[in-house]
Structure formats: structure tokens, C-alpha cells
Amino acid sequence: MPAPSFCQGLQHAQEMTHFPFSPQLTSSSFLRIGQLSNVDLNEDIRELETELPRQHPNEIPHNEKLLSLKYESLDYDNSENQLFLEEERRINHTAFRTVEIKRWVICAMIGILTGLVACFIDIVVENLAGLKYRVVKGNIDKFTEKGGLSFSLLLWATLNASVVMVGSVIVAFIEPVAAGSGIPQIKCYLNGVKIPHVVRLKTLVIKVCGVILSVVGGLAVGKEGPMIHSGAVIAAGISQGRSTSLKRDFKIFEYFRRDTEKRDFVSAGAAAGVSAAFGAPVGGVLFSLEEGASFWNQFLTWRIFFASMISTFTLNSVLSVYHGNAWDLSSPGLINFGRFDNEKMGYTIQEIPIFIFMGVVGGILGALFNALNYWLTMFRIRYIHRPCLQVVEAMLVAAVTATVGFVMIYCSRDCQPIQGSTVAYPLQLFCADGEYNSMATAFFNTPEKSVVNLFHDPPGSYNPMTLGMFTLMYFFLACWTYGLTVSAGVFIPSLLIGAAWGRLFGISLSYLTKGSIWADPGKYALMGAAAQLGGIVRMTLSLTVIMMEATGNVTYGFPIMLVLMTAKIVGDYFVEGLYDMHIQLQSVPFLHWEAPVTSHSLTAREVMSAPVTCLRRIERVGTVVDILSDTSSNHNGFPVVESNPDASQVAGLRGLILRSQLIVLLKHKVFVERANLSLVQRRLKLKDFRDAYPRFPPIQSIHVSQDERECMIDLSEFMNPSPYTVPQEASLPRVFKLFRALGLRHLVVVDNRNEVVGMVTRKDLARYRLGKEGLEELSLAQT
Amino acid sequence: MPAPSFCQGLQHAQEMTHFPFSPQLTSSSFLRIGQLSNVDLNEDIRELETELPRQHPNEIPHNEKLLSLKYESLDYDNSENQLFLEEERRINHTAFRTVEIKRWVICAMIGILTGLVACFIDIVVENLAGLKYRVVKGNIDKFTEKGGLSFSLLLWATLNASVVMVGSVIVAFIEPVAAGSGIPQIKCYLNGVKIPHVVRLKTLVIKVCGVILSVVGGLAVGKEGPMIHSGAVIAAGISQGRSTSLKRDFKIFEYFRRDTEKRDFVSAGAAAGVSAAFGAPVGGVLFSLEEGASFWNQFLTWRIFFASMISTFTLNSVLSVYHGNAWDLSSPGLINFGRFDNEKMGYTIQEIPIFIFMGVVGGILGALFNALNYWLTMFRIRYIHRPCLQVVEAMLVAAVTATVGFVMIYCSRDCQPIQGSTVAYPLQLFCADGEYNSMATAFFNTPEKSVVNLFHDPPGSYNPMTLGMFTLMYFFLACWTYGLTVSAGVFIPSLLIGAAWGRLFGISLSYLTKGSIWADPGKYALMGAAAQLGGIVRMTLSLTVIMMEATGNVTYGFPIMLVLMTAKIVGDYFVEGLYDMHIQLQSVPFLHWEAPVTSHSLTAREVMSAPVTCLRRIERVGTVVDILSDTSSNHNGFPVVESNPDASQVAGLRGLILRSQLIVLLKHKVFVERANLSLVQRRLKLKDFRDAYPRFPPIQSIHVSQDERECMIDLSEFMNPSPYTVPQEASLPRVFKLFRALGLRHLVVVDNRNEVVGMVTRKDLARYRLGKEGLEELSLAQT
């Protein structure tokens, strides 16, 4: 059996050590290559396919300066092989118009379905939570008179814990990827990282049920973040015209069965999710672009906007009908901040420094939140990785949340007149008749309602003490809650914490300035909410627009922007944003917008992986099988070189072929006997590749007989004949820019004679990062 | 004297004719090469530098299917030569932070200055126009009683014509590029086309004065469009830290003296302009992104947003102070559509088909507008190209506008009670006492005010006949006006036409439905305005957001989006958008978002220009001078190949060097004698290149003696050693994507052995376009 042709890499080793810049880096990259060859990729692939039950060792060693090799990349670059080009050339102008119309139809469907899912969540939560609050309220009212409120506490805590238990069990045991808000996962997906199971139907079902149960279970969570994930799953499902989980193929939209198209639709889905969650269609578009799209395309953006608009419109119509005012269209999102009246609540120039100060506070509190959550997450990764432990923790948090709420309500003596207030479930407790307990409105309510109350309740509705205690307790509860194995978002708790301290701040200001009219506590609650949320998630443009759209007016645009910007700058000084932190803790090879500024000293030669396994244009089947089965070949793409270079000719790069393509070729037995090379090998169609997308079988599942191993396979018409390349001298920022802008998965590094010397993939670029002391290099591992 | 080394091209000619796809295209591209060699570029360069007075032949032959070669490209790709890399490597982390802070400071300054310029325009226009209206009103009031209103007409027409004359003279004789709204020019600049003089200080001054005079002169124009151009010029000026016109170099911001950085700031300036014009900071960001940025970068976007916010805030503060309500902050833009009250003016689901119908009407009317303007522009290009003729035409239009207005006011018998109306200059004319002429409010006012009146005047303020006549006349006036040699925008006239027919439509609806409450004429005026503007300019997401922000609420987002989308689809069916049309009439090599869908049949081999003039790594000075002086070398970039390839070695591509770099090298005499090749040639710094940017001298201005011609020049450290390349087999969409996404100027086409076979530049890609009958190829010319 002839050895696979390893090209160039080794010959160049000597050259590399002579390279003038940073020899220590060169040697470290050699070390890395050594590590790579120990990697067992087989297991990973098998696991992905056959879905073995995950094994949980007792303690998982974890290091944040690690990049996991288990994540594959998406390929935003079409493989322009002959099959593809033939199809594209066959399609005429009219057919392209049909494709374009299909794209619009899909976007409309994404919008409608996302809107309907949001409605479903909203209505179910409203009813179940209402039921729960009525039961507990009845119980409390009963026992307030009779004494024995501990029964009420028990009832409340048990109710919460049992609801959360169900929510946690389905997530932990059925689909762990549905945990959390899903925003980090969608960020990764849009960035080009394939997170297993992230856009499956099962994930959607678990996500939706999970978020309903978490909110009803009284956790300090919101139902908005998960909408983004839900929208993305809906988009991925619809655009492919089939569900692998349900084993149904509708034979439509087959043209869109590739990463490029799918990712575009997932962007639209995520935008539609934001749009439904906050009634913020423009914010949704900006969210998708900020997080995902590297290449801004006008048509794509317009489609995304269309999906967003349809989504909020659907939600608005259905909820309006449900609430009985069919033509009113007053519920554009799951949460609406309510109308801020321009005339009453303008701002003046003097207030701007105050807003900036609030941004600073938000940044610091956000950084504190993230730091606490970081330690908690590290603890969870180390010790709470069994599903049953995760369920127990979630139940504990639910019970504690109820208890804290109860104790605070119990101890509070902040009574407000019930007359004229809009509280949904006023709890009288120890207040006089006709009054209600003000602390209870904050705890005894879905967080969305509490936020709106804090924004709009007239001055004097809250006691400063109540707000202070509430901020403190809710801060820690929310921090403990984020990262639990339940499906839930962090937007609303952040807004709630911020609104509480913002209102407190406004009240103090009003007190200090002896009640100047401009210190409206509602306005400060809004700014506080923006500051806190900005300090935690560090989103920029999109968050400003989301806040603007959710408040329904544009007057506060400038102060909100200032607050968010300050919060981001201050927060970034201490610690990363919550989502980025969690992405990093997962060791995901995430590509940021630009290469680290100080990385001009690195060149492609130093960052690339080498040696690269190359294939010849006409290759022995046995060799292909061996290379694919070889556990040391860690790439999913293989450069193709000329078959028989004679001495005078250079064995230059001819193309690039993907593991998935080779597997389809082997599966369909596309090869001819060596003796009959003149025979034409079997023709495949693009459809064969599309049918296998995205779950290509592993090489182990394909049987190749000993005779077949001796056959030859001609890769010419399947390989991409014009892969992107860079010369070895190109600097890292240059390589990064090409890779990021075009959404590549493989970038071949060639020398002056167009011979392959290495390959740059996502992990090679994501490894370099700007740390506190300059450029850092993460190590790679199979975690 | 050795001949310049022409690499590869000719050897490959035979190969090219054997190429299987579309031989007719191949032969046509050969024809094209023939044409190119006749081109006289010298003249162009000389003209750029020495600014000869432009010559105007009597009739300019013009063909829309033409691409001009006179436009150069901007280079969004840094030339990563050794000098650049050494500088970048020298800069440490802290220094990069300083650079980043400088970027923010520049953006703040751009915002402030743009806001101030907008204030200046607003205040001057308000005062001058007020003066004019008072004078004319006084005159009319006087002659209404006495008879002899023809004197008033004469006065009005003369006033208008003389003001417009001044505005037209400065544009036509001093800076013709300041004509029009400037949006097409800025679109081109952001797209990467260098339009001469477009971002000069002189242009800004003429633009600002011109727009004031046009608006005061009573033309059917707005002052909003030109703000975008003004913002862009301000940004270009500030970011470079110097003004070539004023011969002042402040020695700051030198790091930003290259196309990449400058273009980023110009994006911010354009956004700040939109923001100041419409009070739409988010719309401004989206405008810049939609028109310019091919690569979405989070940090850049955030900076652009910052500049936009600062701009609207500055305008708001200054105008608030000017209007005497310092803390009110109620004028976020030059035009504010006024508050649409949510509660009174919601929309219902039944209205949506009506809105869509309005979109169709807007699309048709917009297409008609554009088609008329197209013929008019063709006529102007052919016959009205002398500055004095242009001035006369502008004066004629001004006089006709006044006359039409006067006649319509005179003939109108639509009187409205003056009580409770907000008309600024109520003209009584033949109305009873206490009433005013309703037609006069539309004509006798700045168009901005008329738009707001149409949106907000209570039902019954306008007679349907008045609105109908007004729409008709204003439509033709606006169409005639756009393209005049005055500085003015088309946004406001479009909005005004749309608002007028929209209101008429609303009134008719109300009449037909017997006065259902939902048919509020103001709402329909808004939708009509959106439809008309969308039908003319065909902007998408950004226009939706601009309209949303200008109305100050988000409720109408969905219907506005529907209207704009319908208008765009319907309009595109007939004819292009106004800006795109004018760009095409200027034969600008504009790159759209994607390659034409049916262009997969073309490959790099067919679209590239060949043969390419290559330079050797160590080249004779005489050869370089000859190549640069050679009028047939039409490229501004030259591939660099190995100096002395022996038979066994391939003369592969080593780098790329720009004309501008070579000129700086020659100017600084960076070469050594052939006999002393071992001597080190003079070192240059990046500063030498930056000082010459962007107006590099022409080769003719550099004297090279006969001795110096025999010297040798080593290009190694100045060339970009890792230019982007594509193989010849790459399809046009693939080449296009790479070129567009990275904002390239030159893309080298190489063969399998990395030898240069051709070069792809902007014009090679812009030549292909999707026409009515499929792929069209534009011809290239020196017009």
C-alpha cells in the first residue's frame, strides 16, 4: 500500500526554523503539531453520529486558556466544483428569480412561525403563572388571618421547585444544548462554529417547554433570550424543507441545503426571535448583523428585516386578538416597556453626566455579575456535571428564590394604597385594608411585569428600602440562576435589577435636589436597566436600538447610547461580557471581528497547521479510506495536487476536497478499476450531496472491500478547483481578514511555486488572543 | 534599453482561444485589450494634478452601456509591505489604544462639525427664506387690493431667479462636483470609486452655500441630501488632519492617511449627515452600511453610530438654544415629521392592502419620475454642458417655479380659516378676512414646512382639487429640477409629492367610506410620502428606519416597510432607482452587492485584463520610468516577479506594487548604481508615502537623468509581498466576492505555477451586468 502523499511540510521544516521572527512561536507550533497527532477524532465523529449517552467523569479538568478541537466549522464558502458550476450554468435568469422568491417565502414563514411560538409561550406562561399566583395568593390571604404563613411558604417553594424540576429534567436528560438563553450558541453558529444539535427540532421543543416551566417556576429569568434560539431553529428547519428528527423530507427548498444558505436563514430566524421578544424589528436585524454576518449584503439584510417585521406583526395580531382588542395592535413584543411620554419625560443636557455616571455603575455591577457567574460556572463545570445534580441544583434555586421572596415580602412594611395602581396580584398581607405590600409587586409577579411597573409606577410607589433590598437579593439570585440547566434568558433579570437600582437612584436624586421635576424615577429606572443590561451582555448598537424600539420612542436614543457605551467601556476594563465569557468557557474557537492588533508579527507560516495530508487528483480508494480513517488527520478538507508530477513540473495545488464529499463519493462507489482507467466513473449529482447534508455518515459506516481499495477515484469534478490561498509571508491580520470576511473553513497556504505548505483553519486563528499582557496563545485540546 | 518584462499573457493567448466556455466572450475581451492600448491615460493624470480648465466640446456623444476608464479605484486593502509591517510591529498595545481613542475623537469631531454645519444651513435658510417670503407677501398684500399682481409675480420670479443664479454660478464655475444631492457621489466613494474633488474643502463650501441659495431661491429641492455629502467631506478632512486646499498640515492623525481609514471615516461622516438631516442616527448608520461598508465590523459600526448620535445631538442642542427653549431638545433633525400620536393614529389590519396599493402607486409614479429624469439628463449631457447654459437653465427653472406657484395660488379659490392653523406666512389674497389661501401654504413655504403641514393639518384643511393640482405641478417641477447644476436634494420634493397625493388618497378614501374614522388624511400623507420617496430612490432598510425615526415612533414601522418594499419591487420592474441611474449615466464602474446571478459561466481567465506589465524585483530605473510613462499601461498596480529566473525556477508572483508607491520611490531617488548593487539603497519611511497621499505627483513631474535611468531599484521592501490571487479557473461570482468583500483594487490572476497571467480590476467586474435579456457586457471608454 503506497503511503499517502504528504506534501511539502517536512521539507519546509528546516526553512521554518530559519525564519527571522519569534523563533519561540515557531517551536511552539511544532509542539502543537505533536499534540495534534495524539488526538482521537474517530471517537468524536462516532459520538456525533450515533449519539452515545454522554459519559460524565467525576471531575472535568478545565482550563480557560484552551481551545477545543471538538467543534467543527461551518463552510460559508461554496465548493465551486464542476457539479455546482454545471448546475448554476443550467439555471437561467427566471429560475434564479424563483429561487429568490422562495427565499422571501421562507423568510415570511420564519417570521410567522417565530411569532406564533412567541405567542404560545406568552399565553401559556400568562395562564400558568396566573394560576400559580392565584393559588399562592389565596393561600397567603387565608393564612395571614389565621397565622401559619410557613405553610404558604412551603406551598410556594414546593410549587416552584416541582415546576422547575420538570423544566430542568427535560433539559438535562433530553437536550442539554437547550439550557440557558441560547444566545451564546447562536452567536457561535452565526460565527461559523457548528455546535452539535443546536438547530434541531428536538432542541426547539425542549427550549419552548423549558422556558415556560422556568418562568412559571418563578426563577429569576426571562423568556426573551430563548426566543432568539427558537427563531434560529425554526429558520434552520424551514429552510431545509425537511426534519431529520421527524424523518420527513418535503422535497422542497433543496437548493438551500448547504451551510451558506442555511446560515443566512438562521440569521433571519435569530432576528425574528429578537423582534418577537422585544417588538424590535430593526434591533433584531442589527443583532443578527452584529453577531453573525461578516459580509453585509443588502438583499440578505432586507430579507432579514422582512422576517423580523412579519414576526412582530404576527405576535402583535395574535396577542391583540387574544386580549380581545383585535384592531389595536398594541403588543409588538413579549415585553413592552410601555409608553414613555415625550412631553413629560424629556431629558436635559445637565442630566447627561448623571446618565454617564449610571453607565459607570452599570458597568461595575455588570462586571461583578459576570465575575461571580464565572466562578460559579467554573464550579459547575468541575462538580455539577451529572444531570441529576443539575436538576437538584435547579430545584434548590427555585426553592431559595421563593423563600427569599417570601421572607422579603414578610419583613417588608412598605404598604401602598391599592387605589389607582395597576398591580395584577396585590398582596395585602399585613397592610391595612385597601393597601397592598409593595415588595410583593416586585416578587409576586412575572419579571416582565415588574420591569414595566418599575418604569411606569408614579413617583412614590416604592420605598427606597424596598428597592435597595430587592436589588441586592435579586442580583445574587439572577447571578446564581444564569447557567442552571434550565432554558431561560438573562435579559429580563438584568433589566429588573437595573430598573430597581435606577429607580432608587432617581428617588435619591429627587431627594437630594429637593424634588426637581426632572428627576422622574421612571426615567432613571429605564437608564438603570440599560446600564445594567449593557454592563452584563456588552451589546452595543443592537441593544441601543432594541431599547429604543421597546420604549416605543426615539427620544431616549442618545442617553441610552451613552449609558450603554459607558457601561461597556467600564465593564470591559474588568471582565468580558457574559456571553463571550460562556463561549470562552466552552473553549469554542470563536473568531472575533479582527485579529489581535499586535499580531502583525505572526505570519501564515507560523499559524498554519503543517504538514497537511494532500490527495492526488486521481487517487487510490484505499489511500482515501486510510486517510479518512486515520485518526491523526485532523482536518476536514484536503488539498488536491497533480497526480504524477514529473521532475520538470511542479506539484502545485489543484483544488480542495472536503471529508464530507469524499464520504459521499465512497458511499456511492464512485471509482473505477485501476486497469480500466479509461472507463468513465459513475456520475453523481449535486442532489446526492444535498441529501446527505448535514449529517454525513462516518467513514467507519462505509464498507470498502479489498478489491475496491485497489480502484482509483478521480476527484477532478468534485473538488473545488479554485480554493482561496495565501502565501506563507502573509501576516496574521491579513489571513484573518480573508478568512473572516469570506467565512472560510479551510485556507491553503502555498509557497511561491503554488505548492501546498500548510493549512489555516478556524482554530489556528482563534488561538491568538489579546490578553492583559499582550498576545496570548491558547492551547488546543480534545475536551 | 531592455524591454519591460511582459509576463505570460501572450503565451497564454493560444490557450485562451481553446477555452471551452463562450468563445465569443473571449474574442470580445481580446478586442477590449486592443481598445485599451489606444487609451491615453497621461492626459487624465495631468488633468487631475494641474487642474486644467475643463474643455467642453459642443456635443458629448453618450451611451449608457459604457464604462468610463477615467475613474480610479480606492484601495481598501492595506499594502502590507515591510515598512508597514515594521511600523505595526513597533507599535505596542498601548499605542494601538491611543490610535483607537483618536478614532473616537475624530468621530466625535465629525459629529459635532456636521451638526454645526446643519445648524448653519438651517438658520441661514430660515432667515433668508423668511425675509423673501415677507417681502413677497407684503408686495402681494399690497397689490391684491390695488390690482397689478403681475408686479408681484415679477418680483417673486426675479428674486428667485437671481438667488438661484448665484447658487448655480458657484457650482457650475467653481466646483461642478457639488451639484445635486451628492448622494450618488458618496455612494460611489464608499463603493470604492475615487470621484475627483468629491471630498475637498472647496466642495464643502460650495455645497453649503449652494444648498442655501437653492432652497432660498424657491426651487423644488430639499437641504437634506446635501448634508450627507457635507458630512462626508467634513469626515475626510478631519480624519486626515490637514487640508490640501488650505495648505495646512496639522501633523495629527497621520496614521489615518490611507484609503482604508479614510473610507471608514467618510462612512461615519455620511451617517452623521443623514442623522443631522432627519434626526435619524440609526437610519444614518444603516444608510452608510447599506451604501458603503462591504465588510461589517462591529467597532466601526459603533463608531459610526457615535458620530451620528453626536451629530443629531449637536444640532438638537444648538437649534434648541437658537429657538429659545434651551433644555427642550425637540429638533433632532433638519426636518422633523412632527409627532404622530399613537393613540389617535394606529392602523388596523384592513388598511394593510390599502398601504400596499399605495406602494404600487408610489412605485409607478417613482418609475415615471426616474424615466422622465433620465431623458432630461440625457438631453442635458448632450446639449447643456456649458456652465453658462447650465446657469441659464437653473434660472429658468427658478422663474418657472415661481410663476407656476403664483398662477396656482392665483387661480385657487380654496380658502381656509386662519384661526387655529399653524401656517407661517398666511396669504389672504382673494379670501375673506380671517381666511387664507390654502394653495399658498403649499407653495409659499419651504418644502420641509409644507411636508409637515400635509402630515399634521387637521382633516379638511385642503381641498382635493388643490392637492391634485399641486401634486401634478410639483411632480414635473421636481423632476425638472433634479439634475440642475445647483446643490440640492431630492428627498424633500419626493416626500412632498407623495404627501400631497397620499393626503388626496386619504381624503378620497374617507369620502368613499363615508368618513370612517381610520382614514386619517395625515396618516395617508405619510404613507404616500414613503411610497413616493421609495419609488424614486429605492432605498430599503435605511429608508424605513429614517422614516421611523423622523416620525419619532415605531408604530408605523411595519406599514412603512410594506409600502417601501412594494414601491421598490414595482419601481424596479420598470426602471432603476434615481441614484443608480445617475451613477450609470456617469459611466462609473460601480460594483453591486453580488455578481450577476447568471455569470457562473465566466471565469477569471475571461474577465481579466491581459497581458499585464510586470516588474522584476530588482528593476532598472529606466524601465520603471518607461512603464509609468507608457500610455498603454492602464493599471495602477504592477505585479512583481523574481528578477532572474533560471530555467529550472519558475518566475512566480512575488508581490504587487502600486503606481503611487513607485512614484514616491522615484521622487526620493531610492535606487543604487548598477555597479554597486551591494550598496544599501536609501531607506524610506511610511511617512514619505503618507505625506504624498492622496495627491501623488504624475510621472511627468519627476525628472530622472540619463545616468539615473541606468540605476537599479530594489522593490522588495516596498511591494506588498502577499497580494490576493485567484486561479484562472475561478468563476466570476467567486472573483467578485473576494474583490468586493475585501475592497480590493487589484486582484492578480495566476496559473497553477503561481505565474501571473492577468489582473482583475474594478472595471473588469463592473462590466458585467444583468440586463433585460440576461448578461450584458458594457464597453469601456475614456469618456
pLDDT tens by residue, A313-370: 899 889 888 887 766 666 777 787 777 765 555 777 778 899 999 999 999 999 999 9
Residues 292-321 of A with CB under 8 A from B: 293-299, 301-302, 305-306, 309, 312-313, 317
The confidence band for A34, taking pLDDT boundaries of 50, 70 and 90, is very low
A281 to B348: CB separation less than 8 angstroms, yes or no: no
Residue of B326, B329, B289 whose CA lies nearest to B308: B289
Residue A30, pLDDT > 50, answer: no
Residue in A with minimal Cα distance to B292? A296
Q: Which residues in chain B touch residue A734, judged by CB atoms under 8 angstroms apart?
A: 78, 80, 722
ipTM of the complex: 0.86
Nearest-angstrom CA–CA distance, A154 and B634: 85
Burial of residue A416, with CB atoms counted within 10 A of its CB: 0-12 exposed, 13-18 middle, 19 or more buried: buried
SS3 B608: coil
Phi, psi of B416 (to 5 degrees): -130, 145
Contact A116, A318 (CB under 8 A): yes
Interface-testing mutation among A261, A317, A561, A768, with chain B (most B C-beta atoms within 10 A): A561
The confidence band for A748, taking pLDDT boundaries of 50, 70 and 90, is very high
From the list A294, A346, A721, which residue is nearest B329 (CB)? A346
Residue A20, pLDDT > 50, answer: no
Residue of B663, B674, B658 whose CA lies nearest to B629: B663
| Dihedral sign, Cα of residue B594, residue B598, residue B602, residue B607 | negative
Q: Quick check: B338 contacting A, CB < 8 Å?
A: no
pLDDT tens by residue, A242-258: 877 777 777 788 788 88
Residue A536, pLDDT > 70, answer: yes
From the list A96, A328, A598, which residue is nearest B597 (CB)? A96
Amino acid identity, residue A672? V
pLDDT at position A142 is 84
Nearest-angstrom CA–CA distance, B205 and B170: 10
pLDDT at position B50 is 39
From the list B89, B327, B734, which residue is nearest A600 (CB)? B89
Q: Which residues in chain B touch residue A601, judged by CB atoms under 8 angstroms apart?
A: 89
Pairing of strands A637-641, A615-616: parallel
What region does B218 belong to: left with phi over 0, alpha with psi -120 to 50, or beta?
left
B726 to A730: CB separation less than 8 angstroms, yes or no: no
Which three cell numbers, joined as nine digits, stand for A372? 461571580
pLDDT at position B519 is 61
Which three cell numbers, joined as nine digits, stand for B153? 409675480
Gyration radius (Cα) of chain A, Å:
29
B558 to A313: CB separation less than 8 angstroms, yes or no: yes
Residues 748-777 of A with CB under 8 A from B: 750, 752-754, 770, 774
State mean pLDDT over A85-109.
Answer: 87
What is the four-CA torsion angle of A356, A360, A365, A369, rounded to 10 degrees?
A: 100
Residue in A with minimal Cα distance to B540? A302
Residues of chain B with pLDDT under 70: 1-64, 292-296, 326-330, 341-345, 420-422, 442, 515-519, 633-634, 643-651, 675-681, 782-783
pLDDT at position B24 is 36
- DSSP conformation letters of A328-351: T----SSS---PPPTTTS---TTH
pLDDT at position A115 is 95
pLDDT at position A63 is 61
pLDDT at position A773 is 73
Burial of residue B216, with CB atoms counted within 10 A of its CB: 0-12 exposed, 13-18 middle, 19 or more buried: buried
Contact B544, B508 (CB under 8 A): no
A349 to B328: CB separation less than 8 angstroms, yes or no: no
Residue of B525, B526, B529 whose CA lies nearest to B552: B526
State mean pLDDT over A500-529.
Answer: 83
Nearest-angstrom CA–CA distance, B447 and B450: 5
Q: Which residues in chain B touch residue A545, judged by CB atoms under 8 angstroms apart?
A: 282
- Percent of chain A whose pLDDT exceeds 70: 86
- Ordered by where they begin, the domains of chain B are 6-10+603-781 (3.10.580.10), 351-385+447-585 (1.10.3080.10)
Interface-testing mutation among B355, B558, B602, with chain A (most A C-beta atoms within 10 A): B558
Nearest-angstrom CA–CA distance, A584 and A722: 34
From the list A593, A598, A652, which residue is nearest B299 (CB)? A593
The confidence band for A441, taking pLDDT boundaries of 50, 70 and 90, is confident
Residue of B251, B264, B260 whose CA lies nearest to B306: B264
B774 to A93: CB separation less than 8 angstroms, yes or no: yes
pLDDT at position B295 is 61
A290 to B298: CB separation less than 8 angstroms, yes or no: yes
Residue located via cell numbers 404613507: B527
pLDDT top residue among A427 and A565: A565
Output the CA–CA distances (angstroms, integers) from residue B271 to B201, B277, B303, B332, in the order listed.
18, 10, 10, 14
B296 to A301: CB separation less than 8 angstroms, yes or no: no
Phi, psi of B551 (to 5 degrees): -85, -10
B597 to A654: CB separation less than 8 angstroms, yes or no: no
Nearest-angstrom CA–CA distance, A715 and A621: 11
Residues 268-297 of B with CB under 8 A from A: 279, 281-282, 285, 289-290, 293-297
CA distance A115 to chain B (A): 14
pLDDT at position B40 is 39
Nearest-angstrom CA–CA distance, B243 and B260: 18
Q: Which residues in chain A touch residue B302, judged by CB atoms under 8 angstroms apart?
A: 540-541, 565
Output the CA–CA distances (angstroms, integers) from residue A302 to A227, A281, B574, B769, in the order listed.
21, 11, 20, 21
Pairing of strands A242-243, A248-249: antiparallel
A650 to B281: CB separation less than 8 angstroms, yes or no: no
